[in-house]
Chains A and B, each alone.
Chain A
Amino acid sequence: MTSSGSLQEESCIVGHDIAIQRGGHTIWSNGTFSIPTGSVTAIVGTNGAGKTTLMKAELGLLPLSQGTLTVLGKPAGAMNDRIGYVPQSYTSDIDSSLTAEQSVLLGLTGTRFGFHIVSKKERAKAHEAMQFVGIDDKASYRLSELSGGLRQRVAIAQALVSDPQLLMLDEPLANLDLASQRTTVHILAKLNKELNMTIQVVAHDLNMLLPILTGAVYLLDGHPHYARLDEVLDSHLLTHLYGTQVQVITTPQGDMFVTPNADTIDTNPDMHSSSDVAQFHHHTHSPQSSDDLREGDAQRGEHQ
């Protein structure tokens, strides 16, 4: 695997006024954001907010109804051979007799038409990817024999084997136990640090990812926004985002937590003052999204 820091552009994913429709109704719209190269971002939002839809749009799998979306300097979909994609479905009862090694190899050879035999170089490449995620010893295991956590690492290795610049994972931590979640986060951190890989993750629970996130795309009131992590980690915004009371807590050790119920945790809640909240609320990196926030609030007000 080579480092992919050669990209000149500062931004890895740039959306300009993007909107998407499915079945005649708008999932989200007015998305203008720019995600820096080398960042680790989460796509966050409530169920049905269109997180996976956004990721699929970035892969060019779903057409936009409006706007332009540029990924790795080209229109969405054009650079997919430089993108590693790990869909959520890896856990959905893969009852496959395929071995881990063959699954990873498909990431390298699966798109090739015509007859050809897997070369030693390709096999070495697959093992390198498996080594990186720590499953080299499981190469000859069938997927059906592996736990959800290991199968997910197989899927990540499959995505890595073609040396992507951008790695996209849809709910990589869902259905994993704590230890597997930590391992996955650790692997993502390593990829970002050692290979300078830009990483984007669809997630509904931020806590596990907080130590490695540099920012987030949050789907709020039907609009995608991007913000750096310090802007996202705000009780008011998160409360608004999840539609339930959320607090941001900092432990004495400096670890931060996002929690729906702070009262039961024996730490000093990092509650922002009301003026801070107001600041956070209107403080956004671009006028466009600031307007969106206000619009969103206005709409909410009307509904109530």
Chain B
Amino acid sequence: MNAFFSYDPLWTQTLTMPFMRNAFLAGLCIALAAGVIGYFTIARNSAFASHALAHIGLPGATGAVLLGLPVALGLGVFAVGGAWVIAALGKRASEREIATGTVLAFATGLGLYFARMSSSASQQLQAILFGSILTITPSQIVGFAIFDVLLLIVMAIVYRPMLFSSLDEQVAQAKGVPVGFMNLLFMTVLAGVITIAVPAIGTLLIFALVVTPAATAMIVTNSPFKAIVVATLLCLVSIWGGLVISTMFPAPPSFVIVALSTLFWGIAKGIEAARKKNHRA
């Protein structure tokens, strides 16, 4: 029984350890990036693409370990490359689902193949698949922070045209919004966000940070900007809450983060269903 559910009475001490501080800071950076991109990911029907990009990044990550390069570099290069290919295929998700899914499966297999070619890559495979937020280093956090600043600047500049092209591509195009460029930019930014979110939660669980909080936020808010703010907060609460809870009751942080994110979404869905019922009554 205890093996499943145990309480660590020294959890407050654990929380003050340097690796914990790093994890909290990384969580803040990741929540900001995931929250900003999440709304657009859903508005553009690109939720599946975000899931796929993380998987396409997998062979990049394990391949980088094989070559002795940083995991984030390999992951980033593969994710951005995959993003550009998906962007080139066009925005219509329904048309590219099969192509994306096929490439996703192949990439995952390739990631496994690279991982099996060296013992160090093999050891890192689980961390890449499921994340290891507790091993994030201060230099990684600096990288995350720089990425966040760039992301916020870019998104502040393109916010409205990006929104217009995401929600109403045909009209936006007629009105002169460069929709092709917007699509490329979005996919590139998405690849970047995934690259920094994978260390925390892993390629398999990325959906829970990029898409799920934004979906929850879209249910409880009624404007894109509010949705982005709420999604960021939900992301932050999931990650920080996950860290605290997994310290109190020793469990993999990734699991608790995903569980919280899913719980919030479930609650919002419940509220939405009740609201619809009231509308009808």
Residues on A lying within 8 angstroms of B by beta carbon are 59, 61, 80-81, 83, 85-87, 89, 96-99, 102-103, 106-107, 109-116, 140, 142, 155, 158-159
Question: Is A111's CB under 8 angstroms from B164's CB?
Answer: yes
Question: Is B158's CB under 8 angstroms from A96's CB?
Answer: no
Known A96-B43, A111-B176: A106·B218 in contact at CB below 8 Å: no
13 A-B interface contacts by CB (under 8 A):
A61-B174, A80-B174, A85-B174, A87-B171, A96-B167, A98-B167, A102-B223, A103-B167, A106-B164, A107-B171, A110-B164, A114-B157, A116-B160
- CB contacts (< 8 Å) of B222 on chain A: these are 97, 99, 140, 142
Name the one of A102, A110, A113, A140 contacting B175, with C-beta atoms under 8 angstroms.
Answer: A110
- CB contacts (< 8 Å) of A61 on chain B: these are 173-174
- A105 — nearest CB in chain B belongs to which residue? B160
Q: How far is the CA of A216 from the CA of B168 in the complex (A)?
A: 28
Q: How far is the CA of A85 from the CA of B168 in the complex (A)?
A: 11
- CB contacts (< 8 Å) of A99 on chain B: these are 222-223
Name the one of A86, A111, A140 contacting B177, with C-beta atoms under 8 angstroms.
Answer: A111
Most B CB contacts (10 A, CB to CB) among A59, A96, A97, A115 go to A97
Known A97-B222, A102-B224: A111·B175 in contact at CB below 8 Å: yes
Question: Is A113's CB under 8 angstroms from B43's CB?
Answer: no
Q: What band does the interface of chain B fall in when counting residues whose beta carbon is under 8 Å from A?
A: 20 to 34
Question: Is B167's CB under 8 angstroms from A111's CB?
Answer: no
- B45 — nearest CB in chain A belongs to which residue? A95
Question: Is A113's CB under 8 angstroms from B219's CB?
Answer: no
Q: How far is the CA of A107 from the CA of B171 in the complex (A)?
A: 9
Question: Is A98's CB under 8 angstroms from B224's CB?
Answer: yes
Give the shortest distance, in Å, between B47 (CB) and chain A (any CB). Answer: 12
Q: How far is the CA of A178 from the CA of B222 in the complex (A)?
A: 31
Q: Does B163 contact A (CB under 8 A)?
A: yes
Give the shortest distance, in Å, between B219 (CB) and chain A (any CB). Answer: 7
- A116 — nearest CB in chain B belongs to which residue? B160
Q: Does B109 contact A (CB under 8 A)?
A: no
Give the shortest distance, in Å, between B93 (CB) and chain A (any CB). Answer: 12
Question: Is B170's CB under 8 angstroms from A110's CB?
Answer: no
- CB contacts (< 8 Å) of B221 on chain A: these are 97
Question: Is A111's CB under 8 angstroms from B171's CB?
Answer: no
Question: Is A113's CB under 8 angstroms from B224's CB?
Answer: no
Question: Is A110's CB under 8 angstroms from B227's CB?
Answer: no
- CB contacts (< 8 Å) of A159 on chain B: these are 171
Q: Does B106 contact A (CB under 8 A)?
A: no
Give the shortest distance, in Å, between B56 (CB) and chain A (any CB). Answer: 26
Question: Is A110's CB under 8 angstroms from B163's CB?
Answer: yes
Q: Does B156 contact A (CB under 8 A)?
A: yes
Q: How far is the CA of A158 from the CA of B163 in the complex (A)?
A: 14
Known A96-B43, A98-B224, A142-B222: A111·B161 in contact at CB below 8 Å: yes
The 5 closest A-B pairs by CB, nearest first: A110-B164, A87-B170, A97-B218, A85-B174, A115-B156
- CB contacts (< 8 Å) of A113 on chain B: these are 157-158, 160-161
- CB contacts (< 8 Å) of A96 on chain B: these are 43, 167
Known A98-B167, A140-B222: A110·B172 in contact at CB below 8 Å: yes
- CB contacts (< 8 Å) of B255 on chain A: these are none
- CB contacts (< 8 Å) of A110 on chain B: these are 160-161, 163-164, 168, 172, 175, 177
- CB contacts (< 8 Å) of B157 on chain A: these are 113-115
Give the shortest distance, in Å, between B34 (CB) and chain A (any CB). Answer: 18
Q: How far is the CA of A80 from the CA of B174 in the complex (A)?
A: 7
- CB contacts (< 8 Å) of B219 on chain A: these are 97
Q: How far is the CA of A204 from the CA of B218 in the complex (A)?
A: 37
Q: How far is the CA of A102 from the CA of B221 in the complex (A)?
A: 13
Question: Is A59's CB under 8 angstroms from B160's CB?
Answer: no
Which residues of chain B from 119 to 167 have a CB within 8 Å of any chain A CB? 156-161, 163-164, 167
- CB contacts (< 8 Å) of B227 on chain A: these are 97
Q: How far is the CA of A254 from the CA of B171 in the complex (A)?
A: 38
Give the shortest distance, in Å, between B50 (CB) and chain A (any CB). Answer: 17
Q: How far is the CA of A129 from the CA of B172 in the complex (A)?
A: 18
Q: How far is the CA of A150 from the CA of B222 in the complex (A)?
A: 18
- CB contacts (< 8 Å) of A86 on chain B: these are 171
Name the one of A106, A114, A142 contacting B167, with C-beta atoms under 8 angstroms.
Answer: A106
Which residues of chain B from 195 to 235 have a CB within 8 Å of any chain A CB? 218-219, 221-224, 227
Question: Is A112's CB under 8 angstroms from B174's CB?
Answer: no
Which residues of chain B from 237 to 265 have a CB within 8 Å of any chain A CB? none
Give the shortest distance, in Å, between A159 (CB) and chain B (any CB). Answer: 8
Q: How far is the CA of A109 from the CA of B160 in the complex (A)?
A: 7
Q: How far is the CA of A173 from the CA of B31 in the complex (A)?
A: 44
Q: How far is the CA of A242 from the CA of B64 in the complex (A)?
A: 62
Q: How far is the CA of A103 from the CA of B167 in the complex (A)?
A: 9
Known A96-B43, A97-B218, A98-B167: A115·B172 in contact at CB below 8 Å: no
Question: Is B159's CB under 8 angstroms from A81's CB?
Answer: no
Given A85-B175, A106-B167, 19 new contacts (CB under 8 A): A61-B174, A80-B175, A83-B174, A85-B174, A87-B174, A97-B221, A98-B224, A99-B223, A106-B163, A106-B168, A110-B160, A111-B160, A111-B161, A112-B161, A113-B161, A115-B156, A115-B159, A116-B160, A158-B168
